Amino acid sequence: MPALAEPELTRSDMPESDPTETETETDLWETHAGWWQDGFTAGADPEYEEQILPLAAHYLTGAERVLDIGCGEGQVARLAVEVGARLVVGVDPTRAQIAEALTRGGGPLYARSGADGLPFPDGCFDTVVACLVFEHINEVDRAIAEVSRVLRPGGRFLFFLNHPLLQTPNSGWIDDQILDPPEQYWRIGPYLIEELSIEEVEKDVFIPFIHRPLSRYVNALADNGLLITQMHEPAPPTGFLAQAAEYEAASTIPRLLLLVTRKEAGQA
DSSP string, 43-54: T--HHIIIIIHH
Q: Which residues pair with 231 in a beta bridge?
A: 259
Q: How many domains does the chain have?
A: 1
The verdict on residue 206 lying in a domain is: no
Q: Which domain holds residue 69?
A: 11-166+212-263
Residue 5: pLDDT over 50: no
- Whole-angstrom distance, CA of residue 42 vs CA of residue 49: 9
Inter-residue contact 71 to 91 (CB < 8 Å): yes
The verdict on residue 158 lying in a domain is: yes
The verdict on residue 175 lying in a domain is: no
The verdict on residue 156 lying in a domain is: yes
Choose among 210, 206, 152, 146: nearest CA to 17: 146
The verdict on residue 201 lying in a domain is: no
First to last CA, the chain: 17
The verdict on residue 74 lying in a domain is: yes
**Residue-level pLDDT at 228:** 98
Higher pLDDT, 56 or 28: 56
Q: The domain spanning residue 222 has which CATH number? A: 3.40.50.150
Choose among 119, 128, 101: nearest CA to 36: 101
pLDDT single digits (tens) 182-225: 777 888 999 999 999 888 878 888 888 999 999 999 999 999 99
